[in-house]
Amino acid sequence: MGKVAVVFAAAAVVAACSVAAVMVGRRMRSRRKWRTVVGILKEFEDACDTPVGRLRQVVDAMAVEMHAGLASEGGSKLKMLLTFVDGLPNGTEKGTFYALHLGGTYFRILRVHLGGQRSYLDVQDVERHPIPSHLMNSTSEVLFNFLAFSLERFIEKEGNESDSQGVRRELAFTFSFPVKHTSISSGVLIKWTKGFKISEMVGKDIAECLQGALNRRGLDMHVAALVNDTVGALSLGYYHDPDTVIAVIFGTGSNACYLERTDAIIKCQGLLTTSGSMVVNMEWGNFWSSHLPRTSYDIELDAESSNSNDMGFEKMISGLYLGDIVRRVILRMSQGSDIFGPTSSVLSEPYVLRTNSVSAMHEDDTPDLEEVARILKDLGVSDVPLKVRKVVVKICDVVTRRAGRLAAAGIAGILKKIGRDGSGGITSGRSRNEIQMQKRTVVAVEGGLYMNYNMFREYMEEALVEILGEEVSQYVVVKAMEDGSSIGSALLVASLQS
C-alpha cells in the first residue's frame, strides 16, 4: 500500500469513528432526555397516588371537617352554609316556573311546566350559552343587566303561547357561588370562585341585584328563590326519588350539598323547621386535608390563580383546573428536554389547555393517537413521536384518576357523616338503630365534567365501591341529573308555591 493510500485509509477510519461517536453521543443525549421525561412522569404519578388507605383518610377528614363546620361559624374551611331549604319538591307541584342559572362557564335559562304528578314534568326551551368572559371581570350592573336582558329575550320568544300571559312569572335564580343566606330568597355573596372577579359584589344581596335589574327592564318576574346549583340538583333528584339526600356537582367547579338534621347544625341553636332537617351547602371546593396528594404543579397552579390559598379541593377535582394541571406537567417536560421540540409559547399560557381537550386526548382510540397530535399542534407542539403522545395520554390519566378517586372520597365522607357508609359513622346525635340500618341512599350528580368525561366518571364510581366495599355500595346509587341544577331549582320554586 502506498503512503497516500495509508493516509486516506486512516482518515476514513477517523471519520467513521467520529460519525459513530456523534451518533452514540446523540443517542445517549436522547436517552438521557427520555429518562428525564420518564423521571418527571414517574415522580408525578407517585405524588398523585391514591391508594384506598389514603382515600379512607380523606373520607375521615371530610366527615370531621363537616362536623367542625356545623359546630361553629369559621370552625372549618368547609363553610357548611344554611340554605333555608327544609322541604324538597315531591311531585305534587303544578304550574309554570322559570330558572336562570349562572354557572362557572355557562348560563342557562329554562321553563318547566308541571302537571301535579311526578310523571308530568315538561322541561321547555332550555337555553345554554357560554358566559361572555368580559362579564366575569365587569361590574354588578353590567352582569345583572346582561342576565335581565337575556331573560327578556327568552320571554319574548314565548309569544302568546305561554300559560303565563298576564301572570307574574316565578323565577329561581340558580347561583353557583358561595352565598350566606338570610332566607330562601335572599343572601349575600361571600366570595367569588372559578375565575369570577367583581369585587364590589361581595357582601351584596344577589337576589336583590337580579330583581332590581328585572324591575329596571320592566319585566314582571319575581325572584322567588336563590338556589345553589347543588341544591337544584338535589331538588330534581328528590323529585324523582325521595331517597336522594346528597347532590354533587362536577362542572367548571365542584361542590356538594346534603340533607342534614337541624339538631346536628350546632352553630344555629334552636333552628326549627317543619321537616326537622335542612339542606346544607357544604362549599366543599374549599375542603383541605394534609392527606390530599398535592404536587408541585398544584402548588404553582394555586399560587398563580386569582384565588390562591382557597378552594384547594376544587383545584384538584374540577373541570376548570384539570386541563391546567396537565398543561403544567407537559410544560415541565418540554423545558427539561426537547422531546416536545422547542418550548411552545402557547403551552406557557395558563388555562390554554381545556379539560374538554384532556378528555378528548385521554379517550383517543385511534392507533396513532391522532387526536392527541391535533390538540398538541393547537398548543404549538408539532410532530411529536407516538411514544411522546402516549406520555401525554398517561398524564391525562394520572390527573383524572386522582380527581375521580378524590371525588369519590368526598362523597364517602358525606355518607360517613350521615351514617350511610356502613361504618357506624360519627355518632353524635344519632341513635344506634339509625346507624345500624343500612338505607338506600341516592346521590344526585351533575356537571359537565361528570356528564361528558367517561374516564372521570368511571374512576369515581370504581373508587366509591373500593372505599365502601361491595356490600354497602349496593345501597348507594349514583344518579346522573342532566341540567339538574336548573330544572331542580325551578321545581323548588314550584314547591314553595304549593
Catalytic center residues: 108, 176, 229
Q: b or e along 92-122 (b: 16 or more beta carbons within 10 Å of the residue's beta carbon)?
A: ebebbbbbbbbbbbbbbbbbbbbeeeeeebe
Residue 237 binds ligand ADP, judged by CB under 6 A: no
Q: How far is the CB of 251 from ligand ADP (least distance, A)?
A: 3
Whether 83 and 181 have beta carbons less than 8 Å apart is answered as yes
Residue 104 binds ligand ADP, judged by CB under 6 A: yes
Q: How far is the CB of 120 from ligand ADP (least distance, A)?
A: 26
Q: How far is the CB of 253 from Mg ion (least distance, A)?
A: 8
Whether 436 and 83 have beta carbons less than 8 Å apart is answered as no
Q: How far apart are CA 338 and CA 448, in angstroms?
A: 35
Q: Which of 89, 232, 285, 319 binds ligand ADP (CB under 6 A)?
A: 319
Residue 331: closest CA among 318, 344, 320, 319: 344
Residue 108: closest CA among 404, 470, 488, 457: 488
Cell 356537582: give the residue: 249
Residue 419 binds ligand ADP, judged by CB under 6 A: no
Q: How far is the CB of 70 from ligand ADP (least distance, A)?
A: 26
For residue 184, give every residue at least 6 positions away whose Cβ sits within 8 Å of its Cβ, in sequence order, or none. Answer: 83, 84, 85, 225, 226, 496
Pick from ligand ADP, Mg ion, none: which does 319 bind, CB < 5 to 8 A by kind? ligand ADP
The number of residues making up the chain comes to 498
List the x/- string, 170-189, binding to ligand ADP by CB under 6 A: ------x-------------
Compare residues 178 and 251 and give the one whose CB is closer to Mg ion.
251
Compare residues 233 and 330 and give the one whose CB is closer to Mg ion.
233
Q: Which of 83, 228, 252, 489 binds ligand ADP (CB under 6 A)?
A: 252
Whether 401 and 459 have beta carbons less than 8 Å apart is answered as yes
- For ligand ADP, the nearest residue by Cβ is 319
Residue 106 binds ligand ADP, judged by CB under 6 A: yes
279 bridge partner residues? 259
DSSP secondary structure of 168-204: PEEEEEEE-S-EEEEETTEEEE----TT---GGGTTS
Compare residues 227 and 264 and give the one whose CB is closer to ligand ADP.
227
Compare residues 228 and 355 and give the one whose CB is closer to ligand ADP.
355
Residue 103 binds ligand ADP, judged by CB under 6 A: yes
Whether 176 and 253 have beta carbons less than 8 Å apart is answered as yes
Pick from Mg ion, ligand ADP, none: which does 89 bind, CB < 5 to 8 A by kind? none
Compare residues 329 and 449 and give the one whose CB is closer to ligand ADP.
449
Pick from ligand ADP, Mg ion, none: which does 137 bind, CB < 5 to 8 A by kind? none
Within its chain, how far is the Cα of 87 from the centroid?
Answer: 26
Compare residues 251 and 380 and give the one whose CB is closer to ligand ADP.
251
Q: How far is the CB of 445 from ligand ADP (least distance, A)?
A: 11
Residue 255 binds ligand ADP, judged by CB under 6 A: no
Q: Which of 83, 105, 186, 262 binds ligand ADP (CB under 6 A)?
A: 105
Whether 63 and 425 have beta carbons less than 8 Å apart is answered as yes
Compare residues 328 and 457 and give the one whose CB is closer to Mg ion.
457
CA angle 442, 396, 59 (to 5 degrees): 40
Residue 285 binds ligand ADP, judged by CB under 6 A: no
Q: How far is the CB of 319 from ligand ADP (least distance, A)?
A: 2
Residue 356 binds ligand ADP, judged by CB under 6 A: yes
Q: How far is the CB of 322 from ligand ADP (least distance, A)?
A: 7
Residue 448 binds ligand ADP, judged by CB under 6 A: yes
Pick from ligand ADP, Mg ion, none: which does 105 bind, CB < 5 to 8 A by kind? ligand ADP
Query: Which range touches ligand ADP (CB under 6 A), out of 110-118, 263-271, 416-424, 448-456?
Result: 448-456
For residue 392, give every residue at least 6 positions away whose Cβ sits within 8 Å of its Cβ, in sequence order, or none. Answer: 326, 330, 361, 372, 376, 384
Residue 467: closest CA among 11, 57, 2: 57
Query: Which range touches ligand ADP (CB under 6 A), out of 101-109, 286-294, 402-410, 426-434?
Result: 101-109
Residue 150 binds ligand ADP, judged by CB under 6 A: no
Compare residues 89 and 319 and give the one whose CB is closer to ligand ADP.
319
Residue 453: closest CA among 492, 400, 395: 400
Residues forming contacts to Mg ion in the complex (CB under 5 A) are 103, 229, 251
Residue 438: closest CA among 472, 410, 411, 408: 472
At residue 305, the 3 state secondary structure works out as coil
Sign of CA dihedral 28, 33, 36, 42: negative
Compare residues 65 and 229 and give the one whose CB is closer to Mg ion.
229
Q: How far apart are CA 453 and CA 483, in angstroms?
A: 16
Residue 357: closest CA among 324, 391, 402: 324
Pick from Mg ion, ligand ADP, none: which does 262 bind, CB < 5 to 8 A by kind? none
Binding site for ligand ADP (CB under 6 A): 103-106, 176, 251-252, 319-320, 355-356, 359, 447-449, 452-453
